[in-house]
Structure 1
Amino acid sequence: METLTSLEQWGRWAADGRAYNKLPYVRRYALGEGEDRVLRWQRAWEAASAHAFVLESGKDGRYTFLGLKPTAVIRGTSGEATEAAAGAEAGNAVSAGDACGRRHEDAPLAVMREVMARCRAPSVPGAPKFLGGCVGYWSYDVARSLERLPELAANDLGLPDYAFLLVDELWIVDHEARALYLAVHADVPKEAEDETLRRAMSDAAGRADEMKRIWDRVAAGRADAAASAAVEAMKAAMAEDGLELDVKAFADAGHLRTSMSKEIFKQAVRRIQAYIGQGDVFQVNLSMRQSMPVAARPEDLYELLRLINPSPYMGFLKFPDFQLVSASPELLVKREGDRIGARPIAGTRRRGRTPDEDAAMERELLASEKERAEHVMLVDLARNDLGRVAAYGSVRVPELLTVERYSHVMHLVSQVEGRIAPGWDAFDVLAGSFPGGTITGAPKIRTMEIIEELEPVRRGVYTGSLGWIDYAGNMEFNIIIRTMVAKDGIVHIQAGAGIVIDSDPEREFYECLNKAKALWKAVQYGERLRDRKEPVHLEEGRS
């Protein structure tokens, strides 16, 4: 065990003119072969409060972040929000008159900027990029506070427009270095005396001791040969159960309730093509929500999704009244120091049934003029979005039109990077890029107006962003796609298709279903496990 922060370091930070009021206490534990691979998170949820999360890099990623006991919860709509102590486990946002709550009346990004401005902490050299701060989501409808949009779609799910957990105790697994970090942020008065710092550090060390005990229980079922064999047995059982899901048959059989019928969706596609023909837009992402009553627990659905569809931005976000189960492949935007970046995804083909067919699908995707043109247009949009807050001449595209494979689909992906200009912060970067152009279309504002006209229900969480903001002003947010919303015993999954002038309406309808295929497979298998009363024992889906 190694402690990365010392009392002497705390003293220097406390005397720093930047007036830190939170100081980090960080421990590092070396992990052996396979010890960074958590078998399942069930023991974590048993130790958690009513609000908790895990953020995992399920595909080619480095870090896993686990938060079980946040200190506060912020939930809001476009014009107001409430901030409450997370220990009030009734769960919903507190009323304005509640003594432990605080009422905000401002736009979403302004509220969270004010919340985070109250908390300042230094970065720790040699530690992971995220050690504490806020974890949560912005719904797509936060865009209404950034742009003037019509109010036509029904707000039927009634979820917060944004919700964040303030986290001062964080477990971090570094899969590359095979290390566990325990990060505790202690509240300290500005320019605290030595004795105050000693007491605060002693308390932080005690909290870290308890975190290590919790981790030892969470990781008690670490992966071993028997566990790996069990995972392979489950994969074989899934194949035997016939869970190579035919999404067309699944939808046509009436298993899903969709926000649009096939005919209405096709009419919407033709309406978009008329707008394109008139020169209003170049491309519009049209989406459709799919819903089904589900008895399986959201926690178990997340375990299954980790195995079925490991993705770069996996996440489970737990609130008492709803949960998010996410396997997003796409980064919206991040800031680390003065560096900012985005990673747009556009262009899709299904995975092949054989290696030869898979290679053929890749060649078809790369050769498609439609897919390439759409992708390059959205890369240009990402460049423009970052360019709003980037230093002049710093935006570049180091990676263009790369194919990335996932369990059921492959995508065209590019990387856009820049350097933030002086005077801008993480919230300015978010405002410049939100929502992502890959899930609206181009030009962005006009496509959002068309989406509001043609999609009958509000997108809510779908195509918003899930991620974190730390006390040093860094942040990382995905785009919420390939994500389940579990609420009141119903799972909602939304997916979209990029509509251009030569799109085939029926094919685009089934593309929306196909993009949700991995999630519905997890649901279907979760229901079968529940019917059999079998436990979900899955190894972390890293590849």
Structure 2
Amino acid sequence: MKAITEAQYNDKLQAGYNTIPVFEQLNQTFDLAQIYEAFCPDPAQGGLLESGRTGKYSYISFAPIARIQSKNGQVEMIIEGEDEPALFVSDDPLQQMKKLMNVWRAPLWTTGPDWQGGALGFLSYDFGRHFKQIRDEAEDDLQIHDLLFTIYRDVIAIDHEQQTTYLITNALTERGDDYFAAIERIKKMKDLLLSLNAAELAEEVSIQAEAESSERHLAITPSFSKEQFMKAIVKIHEYIRADDVLQVNLSVRQDFPLPATAWSVYCQLRKLNPSPYMAYLHYADYQVVSGSPELLIKIKDRNIITRPIGGTRPRGKDAEEDQRLTQDLIENEKERAEHIMLVDLERNDLCKVCDPETVEVTDFMVIETYSHVIHLVSNIVGQLQSEKDVYDAIRATFPGGTITGEPKGRTMEIIEELEPTKRGLYTGSIGWIGFNGDLELNIVIRTLLAKSGMGYVQAGAGVIIDSEPEAEYYESLKKAEALLKSVELSLVAEEQGAKRG
């Protein structure tokens, strides 16, 4: 067991920090869903980021101290302890968020997890309009915030590699907080954590097994018919032949009644298709279930990483077919050309905010396998220029090139023209920004939005000149399968849970 000592705390206090993370490390792990339910009895007061595979850390945040949200330039800022929210108009909500986050100045303990408190939330795809001048054509039927981040004092982090748990609280010294108050909060966190009932988890596993043996079918209404989607691809081909664009990501949304809770869907998804950048966010008007496999950017100590996905195949029926499909993906000229194009785009985006000589591709066209699909992935790194920060990096990279196209601005115009509804949260980003200025954001794909008794799942495909319209349509549907299956399982699991009382 390790903990921050009073002497270490005082060193940071004397260094001028006003927000100091205090933590205790436990040499054991706990079920993340159980932690979330125990520490967030009001789910709107917490957030969950889970690394279901290959990643190092998962996080549960609680004890909110502020919130910032915006829609169409209308910004609302809510600070704990203040009677009224601050309301104002801004053409740059990200700058307003930067000002808010600059209130808290925190160090990063090198022995702790990457995120030790700060902002957790999302940027919608349509937030990208602040960086690109895109005409307003598609219907905004879901009315999701453009930006919504909650600032959290307390975090529980699971280190999957070391099999340890961090209990973290931030001492807010300008509010009269101190080391001993922080230690007392950690003690209460530890007592609650150690009281979690393993028998309840066993009951959930039993219900899960029953759910997997049953079936439910969703009444889905797509935003595009197959014919409409294929017609839109023909239009994209016309733009490509005219040298207007090189590639466009076109998506289809699937809408359906959702009697199950979003939390139930998340609990199924994390078992069925664990992914590196999962998230559960609960707001008053809507909830978000994300099973994203894709990173937009991560920044730690001014070092930046992006990891684009470009190229997909469905999973095979057995290992032999998996191998054949994987080899086909690696050798397919269309997929390789698309992937190289996306790597170049992301590398160019990083060069806008990094010292160019530090930008390099460290992994190129490696295979990642998930429950329903196989992906082709690369890794690009760089180091931020001295005058740049995480907010500059967001401006340079958002929204991601893999889910827009090349060139990014023109492809966003074409998406607005061809897709019948605004994307909202889909292909935006979910993640965290630390009190210390680090950051990690995913790309919102493989994600369910639950609102007013309806579920919305959207997925797309990258269209280049060699794309076959029908194949791209079915690829888009394939990418949504794991999430839709999780919805079906959640319906059965809730029924089984109700029967058991």
Normalised by the length of structure 1, the TM-score is 0.87
Aligned counterparts, 1:445-484, within 5 A = 445-484=409-448
**Cα distance in 1, alignment partners of residues 6 and 317 from structure 2:** 58
**Cα distance in 1, alignment partners of residues 38 and 226 from structure 2:** 41
**Cα distance in 2, alignment partners of residues 181 and 386 from structure 1:** 32
**Cα distance in 2, alignment partners of residues 238 and 408 from structure 1:** 18
Does 2:302 align with 1:338? yes
Aligned counterparts, 1:47-66, within 5 A = 47-48=41-42, 50-66=44-60
**Cα distance in 2, alignment partners of residues 42 and 169 from structure 1:** 13
Deviation, structure 1 residue 42:
6.3
Structure 1 unmatched ranges of 5 or more: 88-97, 191-195, 537-543
**Cα distance in 2, alignment partners of residues 112 and 358 from structure 1:** 45
Structure 2 residue matching 1:69: 3-state secondary structure: strand
The answer on whether the counterparts of 2:121 and 2:149 sit within 8 Å (CA) in structure 1 is: yes
Give the match for residue 351 of structure 1.
Answer: 315
The answer on whether the counterparts of 1:78 and 1:145 sit within 8 Å (CA) in structure 2 is: no
Deviation, structure 1 residue 14:
2.4
The answer on whether the counterparts of 2:70 and 2:145 sit within 8 Å (CA) in structure 1 is: yes
The answer on whether the counterparts of 2:298 and 2:441 sit within 8 Å (CA) in structure 1 is: yes
Structure 2 residue matching 1:462: 3-state secondary structure: coil
Which of 145, 150, 155 is residue 170 of structure 1 equivalent to? 155
Q: Output the aligned Cα RMSD.
A: 2.3
Does 2:26 align with 1:29? yes
Give the match for residue 128 of structure 1.
Answer: 113
The answer on whether the counterparts of 1:289 and 1:493 sit within 8 Å (CA) in structure 2 is: yes
Give the match for residue 284 of structure 1.
Answer: 248
Give the match for residue 211 of structure 1.
Answer: 189
Distance 1:526 1:397, change over 3 A: same
Distance 1:45 1:158, change over 3 A: farther
- Cα deviation code 1:211-262 (max 9, x no counterpart): 2233234x432899x67xx748845x4554357x8xxxx7xxxx21111222
**Cα distance in 1, alignment partners of residues 499 and 390 from structure 2:** 42
AA aligned to 1:331 is L
The answer on whether the counterparts of 1:39 and 1:221 sit within 8 Å (CA) in structure 2 is: no
Which of 138, 154, 161 is residue 139 of structure 2 equivalent to? 154
AA aligned to 2:131 is L
Give the match for residue 13 of structure 2.
Answer: 14
AA aligned to 1:214 is L
**Cα distance in 1, alignment partners of residues 387 and 283 from structure 2:** 35
Aligned counterparts, 1:40-439, within 5 A = 40=34, 43-44=37-38, 47-48=41-42, 50-85=44-79, 99-106=83-90, 107-189=92-174, 200-217=178-195, 219-221=196-198, 231=205, 234-235=208-209, 237=210, 240-241=213-214, 255-439=219-403
The answer on whether the counterparts of 2:399 and 2:427 sit within 8 Å (CA) in structure 1 is: yes
Distance 1:86 1:325, change over 3 A: farther
- Cα deviation code 1:384-410 (max 9, x no counterpart): 001111113110001000010000000
Structure 1 residue matching 2:64: 3-state secondary structure: coil
Structure 1 residue matching 2:21: 3-state secondary structure: strand
The answer on whether the counterparts of 1:347 and 1:411 sit within 8 Å (CA) in structure 2 is: yes
Structure 2 residue matching 1:82: 3-state secondary structure: strand
Give the match for residue 90 of structure 1.
Answer: none
- The number of equivalent residue pairs is 500
Deviation, structure 1 residue 125:
2.8
Structure 1 residue matching 2:358: 3-state secondary structure: coil
- Cα deviation code 1:431-483 (max 9, x no counterpart): 10000000001111111110011011110100000000001110000000000
The answer on whether the counterparts of 2:134 and 2:413 sit within 8 Å (CA) in structure 1 is: yes
The answer on whether the counterparts of 1:104 and 1:111 sit within 8 Å (CA) in structure 2 is: no
Deviation, structure 1 residue 532:
3.9
AA aligned to 1:21 is N
**Cα distance in 2, alignment partners of residues 428 and 403 from structure 1:** 30
The answer on whether the counterparts of 2:290 and 2:447 sit within 8 Å (CA) in structure 1 is: yes
**Cα distance in 2, alignment partners of residues 517 and 86 from structure 1:** 41
**Cα distance in 2, alignment partners of residues 239 and 186 from structure 1:** 45
**Cα distance in 1, alignment partners of residues 223 and 10 from structure 2:** 57
The answer on whether the counterparts of 2:215 and 2:492 sit within 8 Å (CA) in structure 1 is: no
**Cα distance in 1, alignment partners of residues 469 and 111 from structure 2:** 52
The answer on whether the counterparts of 1:48 and 1:68 sit within 8 Å (CA) in structure 2 is: no
Give the match for residue 456 of structure 2.
Answer: 492
Higher mean displacement: 128-137 or 19-28: 19-28
The answer on whether the counterparts of 1:407 and 1:518 sit within 8 Å (CA) in structure 2 is: yes
AA aligned to 1:100 is E
The answer on whether the counterparts of 2:305 and 2:382 sit within 8 Å (CA) in structure 1 is: yes
Give the match for residue 3 of structure 1.
Answer: 3
Deviation, structure 1 residue 327:
0.5
Deviation, structure 1 residue 315:
0.9
The answer on whether the counterparts of 1:340 and 1:417 sit within 8 Å (CA) in structure 2 is: yes
AA aligned to 2:169 is V
Structure 1 residue matching 2:134: 3-state secondary structure: coil
Aligned counterparts, 1:508-527, within 5 A = 508-527=472-491
Structure 2 residue matching 1:358: 3-state secondary structure: helix
**Cα distance in 2, alignment partners of residues 115 and 104 from structure 1:** 14
Give the match for residue 466 of structure 2.
Answer: 502
**Cα distance in 1, alignment partners of residues 199 and 190 from structure 2:** 15
Deviation, structure 1 residue 7:
2.7
**Cα distance in 2, alignment partners of residues 510 and 238 from structure 1:** 27
**Cα distance in 2, alignment partners of residues 28 and 233 from structure 1:** 32
**Cα distance in 1, alignment partners of residues 40 and 300 from structure 2:** 33
AA aligned to 2:23 is V
The answer on whether the counterparts of 1:186 and 1:204 sit within 8 Å (CA) in structure 2 is: yes
Distance 1:326 1:516, change over 3 A: same
AA aligned to 2:179 is M
AA aligned to 1:79 is G
**Cα distance in 1, alignment partners of residues 37 and 379 from structure 2:** 37
- Cα deviation code 1:333-384 (max 9, x no counterpart): 1110021110000100000001101111001111100001100110010100
Higher mean displacement: 125-134 or 71-80: 71-80
**Cα distance in 2, alignment partners of residues 170 and 483 from structure 1:** 23
Higher mean displacement: 78-87 or 446-455: 78-87
Distance 1:83 1:300, change over 3 A: same
**Cα distance in 1, alignment partners of residues 211 and 20 from structure 2:** 48
The answer on whether the counterparts of 1:348 and 1:410 sit within 8 Å (CA) in structure 2 is: yes
**Cα distance in 1, alignment partners of residues 39 and 225 from structure 2:** 38
